[in-house]
Amino acid sequence: MIPLESNFLVPDATFIVEVIAFAIILFLLGKFVLPPINKAMEARQEAIRSEFSQLEQAKADAESDKAAYAAQLTEARQEANRIREEARAQGVTIVSAARDQAVAEQARVVDQGKSQLEAERQQAAHSLRSDVGSLATTLAGKIVGESLEDSAVQSRVVERFLADLESTEN
C-alpha cells in the first residue's frame, strides 16, 4: 500500500483549514457585504424600472398629445374648408344678387327709356298734328281760294287730312 502522506487523494491538513477559512469568509461576505450590495442593486433596478415606467408614461402622453394635435389639425382643416365653402356660396349668392339687381336696373332703365320715348313720340305726334293741321288749313285755303279761319271748318279739314294720311301709311 501507499502511505497516506504520498497519496494525492487524501487532503492535507492545511487544506482543511483553508477550506474552513474560505467558508468563514464566504459566510461573512454573505452576511455583511452582499446585503448592502444587493440592496443597492435592487434600489438601482427599482430606479431604472421607475424611469422606464415614467418614459413609457411620457411616451403614452406624447402619443396622446400627438393624436389630439392631429385631431385638432383635422378639425381646423375641416372648419377652414367649411368656411371656404360658405364664403364661396356667399360669393355666388352675392354675384347672383348683383346680377339680378343689374338685370332689374337694366329693365327699369329700358322701361323708363321706353316710357320717355313713348311720351316724346306722343308729344311729337301731338305737336306734328297741330303743325300739320295749321299747315293743311293754310294750304287748303290757298288751294280752295277761300279762308278757312272758321274753327269748325278747320277742324273738319284737319281730321279729313289726317285720316287720309293714316290710311296711306297702312
Cα separation, 153 vs 147, in Å, equals: 10
Q: Please tell me the distance from the alpha carbon of residue 125 to that of residue 157, in angstroms, as a whole number.
A: 18
Q: Which three cell numbers stand for residue 42?
A: 435592487
The pLDDT tens digits for 3-31 are 656 666 777 778 889 999 999 999 999 99
* Residue 149: pLDDT band with limits 50, 70, 90: low
